[in-house]
Amino acid sequence: MCFPPRHPVGGSEVIRMSAVRHRYMTQTDYMSWRMEQDPILRSTIVAVALLDRNPDWTRFVDMMNRGTQHIPIFRRKVVTDPMSPAPPYWVTDPDFDLSWHIRRFAVPAAGGWDAVLDFARTAGMTAFDKDRPLWEFTVLSGLDSGQAALVMKVHHSLTDGVGGMQIAREIVDFTREGTTRAEPAPTGRAREAEPGARSGLAWYRDTATNFARRASTAVALHSAELARHPADALRNTTTVLGSITRFTRPVVTTLSPVMTKRSTRRRFAVLDVPVEALGRAAALGGGSINDAFLASVLRGMARYHRLHGVDVPQLRLTLPISLRSADDSLGGNHITLARFGLPTDIGDPTELIRSVHATVDVWRNEPAVALSPTIAGALNLLPASTLGNMLKHVDFVASNVVGSPVPLFIAGSEVLRYYAFSPTLGSAFNVTLMSYTSQCCVGIDADTEAVPDLDALTACLADGFRDVLALCPDAQDVAATHVWTN
With contact defined as beta carbons under 8 Å apart, do 164 and 134 qualify?
no
Q: Which residue has the higher pLDDT, 93 or 236?
A: 93
The residues, ordered by sequence, that sit 6+ positions from 446 with a Cβ below 8 Å of its Cβ are 266, 267, 268, 269, 424, 428, 429, 430, 454, 457
Please give the pLDDT value at position 325: 73
> Beta partners for 153?
46, 136
pLDDT higher than 60, residue 383: yes
Model confidence band, residue 213 (pLDDT cutoffs 50, 70, 90):
low
The arithmetic mean of pLDDT across residues 87-107, rounded, is: 94
Please give the pLDDT value at position 63: 94
Q: Which residue has the higher pLDDT, 195 or 299?
A: 299
28-67 residue pLDDT tens:
888 888 888 889 998 899 999 999 999 999 999 999 999 9
Amino acid code (one letter) for 485: T
Please give the pLDDT value at position 209: 55
Please give the pLDDT value at position 397: 97
Q: SS3 helix, strand, coil % of the chain, rounded to 5?
A: 40, 20, 35
The arithmetic mean of pLDDT across residues 250-271, rounded, is: 95
Q: Which residue has the higher pLDDT, 68 or 4?
A: 68
pLDDT higher than 90, residue 361: yes
- b or e along 10-48 (b: 16 or more beta carbons within 10 Å of the residue's beta carbon)? eeeebebbbebbebbbbbbbbbbbbbbebebbbbbbbbb
Please give the pLDDT value at position 194: 54
Least confident of 66-70, 406-410, 478-482: 478-482
- Nearest-10 Cα torsion for 78, 116, 430, 462: 160
Least confident of 93-107, 241-255, 258-272, 274-288: 241-255
Q: What is the DSSP string of 40-65?
A: GG--EEEEEEEESSPPPHHHHHHHHH
- b or e along 378-392 (b: 16 or more beta carbons within 10 Å of the residue's beta carbon)? ebbeeebeebbebbb
CA distance 304 to 120: 25
128-167 residue pLDDT tens:
999 999 999 999 999 988 999 999 999 988 877 777 777 8
Q: What is the DSSP string of 56-124?
A: PHHHHHHHHHHHHHHSGGGGEEEE--TT-SSPPEEEE-TT--HHHHEEEEEPPTTTHHHHHHHHHHHHH
With contact defined as beta carbons under 8 Å apart, do 8 and 213 qualify?
no
Model confidence band, residue 123 (pLDDT cutoffs 50, 70, 90):
very high
Torsion over CA: 326, 363, 343, 28 (sign): positive
With contact defined as beta carbons under 8 Å apart, do 331 and 78 qualify?
no
3-class state of residue 410 by DSSP: strand
**H or E element in which residue 338 lies:** strand 335-343
Any idea what DSSP says for residue 332?
Answer: B
Strands of 44-51's sheet, edge to edge?
102-106, 135-141, 148-155, 44-51, 413-421, 409-410
CA distance 460 to 82: 47
Please give the pLDDT value at position 27: 80
User: What's the whole-number average pLDDT of the chain?
Assistant: 83
- Pick the most confident of 64-78, 153-167, 180-194: 64-78
Domain edges within the chain: 266-403+426-481
Max Cα separation, the chain? Answer: 76
Can you identify the CATH homologous superfamily of domain 266-403+426-481?
Nonribosomal peptide synthetase, condensation domain (3.30.559.30)
CA distance 201 to 88: 13
